């Protein structure tokens, strides 16, 4: 069994993920149905305005991640400025996919930022105080996302209901940050 740096097994994390999403059912009435009916298949849908690329794929079937699908997600979420690829933490992908399902949206996410190389992060940090020095983007554990059909508030509430990582609301720039770090929220 694979463990993350905090000693949690993937199975324990997914169990906690499922339990917290079910607890959110009063707010998102389809949460329990999603986990019961769709828990054997997980799908992610995104596009990039920067590269023009789109991704719509099943990356998990019957309790197993699909390696080739994850490779495609990693490439899609690469640092496009430097064309550097890093493995995206599957917990982040799961949070993104679960949030999109909770929102009942057929629209793919617009990916604003996935993996960022240290040099890209440093360059962005020099231009904006909203970029963290030790950003989880540099570890492949974060994504900045937008939906035209849902508000920042709606997206953030869906991600928060997963209780599986950090959620940042950026109203001025119209996006939500989702990561698999500590459970926390903030406004940027």
- Domains in the chain: how many in total? 1
Please say if the pLDDT value at position 82 is more than 80. Answer: yes
CATH code: domain of residue 64:
3.30.1380.10
Whether residue 1 is contained in a domain is answered as no
The count of residues in the chain is 188
pLDDT tens per residue across span 40-54: 899 999 999 999 999
pTM, 2 dp: 0.78
Q: Is residue 5 part of a domain?
A: no
Tens digits of residue pLDDT in 152-184:
999 999 999 999 999 999 999 999 999 999 999
Specify the range with the lowest mean pLDDT, choosing from 15-29, 79-93, 96-110, 114-128. Answer: 15-29
Which residues span the domain enclosing 139? 10-187
Note the pLDDT of residue 34: 42
User: Do the domain assignments include residue 66?
Assistant: yes
Q: Is residue 134 part of a domain?
A: yes
Cβ atoms of residues 90 and 65 within 8 Å: yes
Cα–Cα distance measured from residue 36 to residue 135, given in angstroms and rounded to the nearest whole number: 34
Higher pLDDT, 85 or 34: 85
- Please report whether residue 3 resides in a domain: no
The model's confidence at residue 39, banded by pLDDT at 50, 70 and 90, is low
% of the chain beyond a pLDDT of 70: 79
Has residue 2 been placed in a domain? no
| pLDDT per residue as tens digits for the range 118-141 | 988 888 777 877 777 788 998 999
**CB burial of residue 154 (10 Å; 0-12, 13-18, 19+):** middle
Mean pLDDT, to the nearest integer, of 88-112? 96
3-state secondary structure the chain: CCECCCCCEHHHHHHHHHHHHHHCCCCCCCHHHHHHHHCCEEEEEEECCCCCCEEEEEEEECCEECHHHHHHHHHHCCECCCCECCCCCHHHHHHHHHHHHHCCCCCCEEEEECCCCHHHHHHHHHHCCCCCCCCHHHHCCEEEEECCCCCHHHHHHHHHHCCCCEEEEECCCCEEEEECCCCEEEEC
What does the mean pLDDT of the chain come to? 83
More confident residue, 78 or 135: 78
Does residue 162 form part of some domain? yes
């Amino acid at each position: 069994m694979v463990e993350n740096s905090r000693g949690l097994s993937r199975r324990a994390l997914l169990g906690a993920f499922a339990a917290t999403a079910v607890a959110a059912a009063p707010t998102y009435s389809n949460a329990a149905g999603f986990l019961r009916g769709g828990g054997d298949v997980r799908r992610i849908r995104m596009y990039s305005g920067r590269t023009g690329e789109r991704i719509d794929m099943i990356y998990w079937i019957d309790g197993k991640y699909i390696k080739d699908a994850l490779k495609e997600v990693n490439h899609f979420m690469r640092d496009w400025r430097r064309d550097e690829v890093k493995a995206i933490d599957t917990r982040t992908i799961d949070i993104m996919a679960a949030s999109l399902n909770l929102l009942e949206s057929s629209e793919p996410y617009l990916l604003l930022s996935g993996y960022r190389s240290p040099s890209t992060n440093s360059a962005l940090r020099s231009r904006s105080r909203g970029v963290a020095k030790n950003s989880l983007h540099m570890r492949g554990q974060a994504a900045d996302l937008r939906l035209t059909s849902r508000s920042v508030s709606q997206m953030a509430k869906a991600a928060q209901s997963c209780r599986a990582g950090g959620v940042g609301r950026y109203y001025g720039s119209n996006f939500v940050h989702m990561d698999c770090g500590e459970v926390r929220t903030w406004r940027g």
